Amino acid sequence: MAITANMVKELREKTGAGMMDCKKALEETGGDFEKAANLLRQKGIAVAAKRETKAANEGTIGAYIHTGGKIGVLVELGCETDFVAKTDEFQALARDIAMQIAWGNPKYLHREDVPEDEIAKEREVHRQWAIKEGKPEKAIDNIVTGRMERFFEDIVLMDQPFIRDSDIKIGDLINDVMGRLGEKIVIQRFVRYRVGESG
3-state secondary structure of 64: strand
Q: Which of 32-36, 66-70, 167-171 has the lowest mean pLDDT?
A: 32-36
3-state secondary structure of 180: helix
Characterize the bridge pairing of strands 165-169 and 58-65. unpaired
**pLDDT band at 103; cut points 50, 70, 90:** very high
Report the pLDDT averaged over residues 98-118.
95
**pLDDT band at 115; cut points 50, 70, 90:** very high
| 58-109+156-194 belongs to CATH 3.30.479.20 | yes
Output the pLDDT for position 48.
Answer: 60
Q: Report domain extents, the chain.
A: 5-50, 58-109+156-194, 115-154
3-state secondary structure of 68: coil
Instruction: Return the ∠ at Cα 57 (arms to 156 and 43), rounded to 5°.
Output: 60
Asked whether 21 and 180 are in contact (CB, 8 A), the reply is yes
The CATH fold assigned to 115-154 is GTP Cyclohydrolase I; Chain A, domain 1 (1.10.286)
**pLDDT band at 65; cut points 50, 70, 90:** very high
Q: Report which residue type is found at 144.
A: V
- Rounded CA gap, 3 and 127, in Å? 50
Closest CA to 192 of 108, 94, 71: 71
The answer on pLDDT for 192 being more than 90 is: yes
Output the pLDDT for position 47.
Answer: 61
3-state secondary structure of 165: strand
**pLDDT band at 50; cut points 50, 70, 90:** low
Question: Is the Cα torsion angle 28, 31, 35, 36 positive or negative in sign?
Answer: positive
| The overall pTM is greater than 0.75 | no
**Candidates 1.10.8.10, 1.10.3720.10, 3.40.630.30, 3.40.50.300; correct CATH number of 5-50?**
1.10.8.10
Report the pLDDT averaged over residues 151-178.
92
**pLDDT band at 64; cut points 50, 70, 90:** very high
Report the pLDDT averaged over residues 102-122.
95
Asked whether 178 and 90 are in contact (CB, 8 A), the reply is no
Report the pLDDT averaged over residues 40-63.
75
- Rounded CA gap, 135 and 89, in Å? 47
